[in-house]
């Protein structure tokens, strides 16, 4: 990417490929000054990566998913600035997590399954973390990602037993493991 501003704008657009953004929404989402947003979007439009429409005072912007490089760009953004690295960084701050993974529709898209754009991110946390601290870092990550993050906390015993239908389904579902080093949860 040419600049951090361009990366942040492109990530917001590429990671929500069906969303049509207003200039004000992109400015608020990225916290980049509006003149810089306009300048970077013009560059991205000139490169064929975004579409800009509407009147000057009501511009609408959407990623050009018909671009020949969109599939590769989407995969690159998903893996570099998407939920996995953001949540990995966030969870480093929370002790007593034995395992963490993204599950549900985000995990299935990450693994390449076709389907509608996920509206939220489902996060599995196995361990005995401080729930208030976990909620605070997950909420901050959700702000960064521009999507709700729904954390489910299971004890190591609940995870290992697989007795509930939900846990059984998780064991069979696509999971995207998060690389964390926040400490080990107690066994019970």
Q: Poorest-confidence range of 1-10, 13-22, 68-77, 92-101?
A: 1-10
Q: How far apart are CA 173 and CA 170, in angstroms?
A: 5
Q: What is the pLDDT of residues 158-169, one digit of tens each?
A: 999 878 899 999
This prediction has a pTM of 0.74
User: What's the Cα-to-Cα distance from 173 to each of 114, 149, 166, rounded to whole Å?
Assistant: 15, 18, 10
Q: How far apart are CA 5 and CA 27, in angstroms?
A: 11
Q: Tokens for 91, please give them.
A: 């969870």
Nearest Cα to Cα of residue 64 among 54, 73, 82, 51: 51
Q: How far apart are CA 71 and CA 89, in angstroms?
A: 25
Q: How far apart are CA 153 and CA 158, in angstroms?
A: 10
Mean pLDDT of the chain: 89
Q: Cβ atoms within 10 A of the Cβ of 98, count?
A: 20
Q: Indicate the pLDDT class of residue 1, thresholds 50, 70 and 90.
A: low
Query: Which residue has better confidence, 185 or 110?
Result: 110
CATH 3.40.50.720 fits 82-177, yes or no: no
Q: Tokens for 44, please give them.
A: 């991205």
| Annotated domain spans of the chain | 4-74, 82-177
What CATH class does 4-74 carry? mainly alpha
Are the CB atoms for 11 and 86 separated by under 8 Å?
no
Please give the average per-residue pLDDT across 41-47, as a whole number. Answer: 94
Percent of the chain with pLDDT over 90: 63
Q: Indicate the pLDDT class of residue 78, thresholds 50, 70 and 90.
A: confident
């Amino acid at each position: 990417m040419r600049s951090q501003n361009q990366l942040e704008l492109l990530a917001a657009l590429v990671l929500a490929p069906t969303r049509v953004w207003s200039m004000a929404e992109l400015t608020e989402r990225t916290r980049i000054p509006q003149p810089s947003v306009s300048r970077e979007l013009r560059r991205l439009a000139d490169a064929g990566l975004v579409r800009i429409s509407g009147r000057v005072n009501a511009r609408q912007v959407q990623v050009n998913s018909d671009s020949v490089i969109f599939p590769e760009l989407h995969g690159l953004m998903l893996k570099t600035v998407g939920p996995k690295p953001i949540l990995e960084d966030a969870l480093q701050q929370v002790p007593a997590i034995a395992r963490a993974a993204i599950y549900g529709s985000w995990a299935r898209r990450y693994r390449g399954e076709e389907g509608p754009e996920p509206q939220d991110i489902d996060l599995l946390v196995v361990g005995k973390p401080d729930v208030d601290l976990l909620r605070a870092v997950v909420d901050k990550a959700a702000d960064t990602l521009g999507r709700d993050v729904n954390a489910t906390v299971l004890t190591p015993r609940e995870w290992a037993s697989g007795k509930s239908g939900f846990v059984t389904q998780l064991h069979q579902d696509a999971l995207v493991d998060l690389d964390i080093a926040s400490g080990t949860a107690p066994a019970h």
